[in-house]
A and B are shown apart, each in its own frame.
Chain A
Amino acid sequence: MRVRSGVILVVAAAALSVLALVVQQWSLSRYNLVVDLPEWLWSQLAVGWAFLLSGLAADRKRHDSLIGRWMMVFGMIWIGRLVFTPPAIQWEAVGWGFAVYGLLFVILHTLPSGRLRGWERWVAGIWMAFVLVLALGVVAFTDFYRGIDDPLCCPTHLLLFDDDPVTAEAIGTVGLVVAPLIFVAIVVAQFSRWLRASKVGRRSLRSVIVVLLPLVVLLVVVPVATVMNSGFSGLIEAFGSSLGLAPAPQPDRLNLYIQDGALIGLPVLILAGLLTTRLSRARVADMMEDLASTASPQELEARLQETLADPGARLTFLLEDSDERVDVNGERLRFDIEAQTMTRLDDRVSIVHDPDVDADLVAAAGAGAGLAINNARLQAELRAQLLEVQESRRRLVAVTDEARRSVERDLHDGAQQRLIALSATLKEVASRGSEDDPVVDELLAEAARAADLAISELRELARGVHPAILTQAGLGPAISNLADRAPIPIEVEVDPGRYPSDVEAAAYFVVAEALSNVFKHSEAITAKVTVRAQRGGIHVEVSDDGLGGADPGGSGLRGLSDRVSSLGGRFRVAESSNVGTKVTAWLPDRREDI
């Protein structure tokens, strides 16, 4: 609501108030009525203004909630009804009944959004109609001027059907009994809403507790006070009056204070409740100030989560070149979007959040962080591309590994077996001997030796291509075998444990290549290999006591570095003239990710 319409409303309410004061004063002097003027009128006006002003404030500060408007309507009806005096006093009563039973209940029920959803609209409509009928019913059987001995006053009002106090009270009692029941139902409904709500939802329902809790206390305190004061007779009425829902039956002082206090305090409580949840909006402003100095997309997301008070809130981006949705790290979304609500900020950017987070607030936060979010989107896209490149590099290495394994397998199952069979046959033939030609025997023996040599050379070749023991028994035995065949003593320390085959292969080839460098160039006397489980992966270290001089740009080390980084690991060659060369690599164990 714009400021101007607010001003118009206040002016109208002020005019009505003045009119009420004048009219009531006139009525008092015109008819000889026994009414508690002006005390009564002042307190009634105070209640009306409390609702009107709280409503205006609520509407200004919490525009997303309709509660403020409901409160303004309540205030206007409340003040407006005070204009009616004898001879039209019945309208004052009807207005009172409608405002209190009809509007107030809708306000309490729809806290904090003020919105009626689906079937609630029908129920609320029927309820308000029912209240109206009830109020008209009471009026129809009540002659407000009973006992007024004034010929100038109309003997009857327009709605009067019959002056029948018994019927009127019966109808009134229906209201006084039903109203507290409905109130209890509202409390139960709100409480179960609280129970079902998520963490975030509970926060926004906090305002409801702020409002309903004092009312529930009043609902207990006032009847108890009444019973203590005047016995059980006034109990049913007291239930109603405790909420300001009915005029106090016997206006003793205590009840009057509580009733007026309750009705003035209620709109203030509602306003306070709405404002406590509004504070999150103030955080949007804080966030905007902060973001200027905040750089990374992850920090931005953390700030958004804080602002929305939803630790599960995530920024998501739709990639430009594919329909994939990624998070701030550029990684494909892995969490369940279905259980969340997605609020779109623009074509590509959305915030996924708890369904109970106020969508307006999300939009406000998103708009506030606009530039930073755009920046985060670009970074996420870059990250996504980088991840894709990394992934394809990993696939390339995996393909190479698989090719090596396949060559080794083919050698094992094919050529090696055939050579053994050949050698066996040659030796068989040689053993039978050719009696007449010793040259043939010599040639056969030579052929058998050549076959045996081919067998062991082929075995070495297969081992170099891909050691079967690595796949079958892991890093420990495979590296031990390297040490067996090394020209210098090598100390081997390998933690037991198996890893994904690409990780084991990378670690193995790091060790093998580093050792072969040691043998070729370093003139080292000893070397040491350690493989340890460390920080969610394996740490490989090959050190020697040689001359150093390893060339990290050389094709061997270069290839290792590529292989390691394709798995998201780190590779380093350190050397100094005193302590030789140290090659280290760390490889993440990605089993959890796969």
Chain B
Amino acid sequence: MRVLIAEDSVLLREGLVRLLDEEGVEVAAQVGDADSLRARVRADPPDVCIVDVRMPPDNNADGLIAAIELRSEFPDMGILILSQYVEPHYALELLQSGTDGVGYLLKDRITDRTQFIEGLRAVAGGGTAVDSAVVSQLLGRPRKDDPLQRLTEREQEVLAAMAEGKTNSGISDSLFMSEKTVESHVSSIFMKLDLHSDQHTNRRVLAVLQWLRA
């Protein structure tokens, strides 16, 4: 796996390079701003770009904008956004540009090596990864006549795992239940939330997040 790192903080960039190095991931290039990100990807597209949301030149959401732009040019390239912000808005914006091979993680995840690498591999494999903090913020949002109250505790856990981008087998591993049970939970959730059932894992993420945001 060849990875490009776009991060303006030298401290974090170096930390990332060391971490990936130790995990045997090849760092093809490192850049510190959105314009060089575009240039490097166009010159030599990697398998995955790890991109900081906020970067020069404008220090707004330059990284995210560049990443979404590059995605339309290189649909097979994975995009893992790193962010300081628990912002469902960014996660949704990214997913709306395409649900395969994208991830939105807080920078905090770097501190937990296994979690981070897991997310990175999911993105590289065409899957989806959404930070648990973002998902729990959305789940925790108070709602009038909250439909989530109709879910059992177990179903709520499955919903959160779905929203984070886990596959059915991933859910079954992390929640210690059989895939069959996961499937029945999933269809029950879809029914209770009046969501159109979609078996495709990645599109399912977007549907759930949009439902939660609405």
Contact = CB atoms under 8 A, between A and B. Distances in A.
B2 interface: no
B60 A481 contact: no
A455 B86 CA distance: 12
B128 to A, nearest CB: 20
B140 A484 contact: yes
A558 interface: no
B87 A477 contact: yes
B15 interface: yes
A478 B86 CA distance: 11
A402 to B, nearest CB: 14
A486 interface: yes
A468 B54 contact: yes
B87 A469 contact: yes
A423 B111 contact: yes
Contacts of B60: 471-472
A562 interface: no
Interface in B96-134: 107-108, 110-113
B111 A424 contact: yes
Interface string B1-40: 0000000110110010001000000000000000000000
A155 interface: no
Interface residues of B, number: 32
A484 B137 contact: yes
A459 B88 CA distance: 15
B144 to A, nearest CB: 5
Interface stretch (A247-255, A277-285, A414-422, A434-442): A414-422
A423 B108 contact: yes
Nearest to B22: A428
Given A452-B111, A471-B60, A477 B15 contact: no
Nearest to A460: B86
Given A418-B11, A421-B15, A448-B111, A459 B142 contact: no
B171 interface: no
Interface centre among A448, A455, A463, A484 (most CB of B within 10 A): A484
Interface string B34-60: 000000000000000000001000011
Contact of A417 (B12, B85, B89, B137): B12
Nearest to A420: B107
Interface string B157-189: 000000000000000000000000000000000
B70 interface: no
Interface residues of A, number: 40
Contacts of A483: 141
B85 A469 contact: yes
Nearest to B58: A472
A485 B86 CA distance: 11
Contacts of A481: 86-89
A420 B137 contact: no
Contacts of A471: 60
A181 interface: no
B192 interface: no
B197 interface: no
A488 interface: yes
A409 interface: yes
Contacts of B143: 489
B88 A484 contact: yes
Nearest to A471: B60
Interface centre among A424, A456, A481, A483 (most CB of B within 10 A): A424
A477 B213 CA distance: 10
A431 B112 CA distance: 10
A456 B108 CA distance: 9
A480 interface: yes
B138 interface: yes
Contacts of B15: 421, 424
A494 to B, nearest CB: 12
B105 to A, nearest CB: 12
Contacts of A298: none
A458 to B, nearest CB: 9
A554 B79 CA distance: 48
A416 B89 CA distance: 21
A483 B88 CA distance: 12
Nearest to A462: B84
A412 interface: yes
Contact of B61 (A416, A451, A473): A473
B33 to A, nearest CB: 13
A44 B64 CA distance: 97
Contacts of A477: 87, 89
A365 B137 CA distance: 70
A357 B209 CA distance: 69
Interface of A: 409, 412-413, 416-418, 420-421, 423-424, 426-428, 431, 448, 451-452, 455-456, 459, 462-463, 468-469, 471-473, 477, 480-481, 483-491, 526
- Report the 4 A-B pairs with minimum CB-CB distance, sorted nearest first: A477-B89, A423-B111, A424-B111, A472-B61
Given A412-B84, A421-B12, 7 more contacts: A418-B11, A420-B111, A421-B15, A424-B111, A477-B87, A484-B140, A487-B142
11 contacts: A412-B84, A421-B12, A424-B111, A428-B113, A448-B111, A468-B54, A484-B137, A484-B138, A486-B142, A488-B142, A490-B142
